[in-house]
Amino acid sequence: MRERAGSVTVPVVPDDPLLYRALDAGLSAYVTKSAPVNLVLSATRHAAVAPTSFTTPGLAAALARRQHQGGLLSRRERQVLALMRDGISLPAIAMQLHVSEATVKTYVSRLYSKLRVNNRSQALMVAVNQGLLPTVSDAA
């Protein structure tokens, strides 16, 4: 599967959200369920020897995809998303950002389209899983 981000087509790897969560959680390694035994053993050895570093096959490419995905949302869309995460209503978001409610609805519509979701809960879940929005506990 591929996602469009600006004028560049970015490949989306199904395991990326899990990889990003493992990295953000401070784990030492990440391997998929289908990884060969030698890779699992290598990751286990890495975790034992270098517990504060992170390893996974294709890490550089995954980090490049993550950085590029960060450009998926505009600064204002990220603001709206963060306010949505905080449970703020659309009229209240409009007041806080000093824009019309129609403008906020446009931002929300763009968010839903870019994240390929249909509602607030899905948007927040996808954004957190893809590392586009920190969780409340990450901000603390």
State pTM to two decimals.
0.51
Q: Does the structure show a pLDDT above 70 at 67?
A: no
At 61, is the secondary structure helix, strand, or coil? helix
pLDDT in tens, 72-117: 777 888 899 999 999 999 999 999 999 899 999 999 998 998 888 9
Cα–Cα dist 43/35, whole Å: 10
Cβ atoms 123, 81 nearer than 8 A: yes
> Please, which residues bridge with residue 5 across strands?
8
Q: What percent of the chain has pLDDT over 70?
A: 80
Angle between helices 90-97 and 75-85 (to 10 degrees): 130
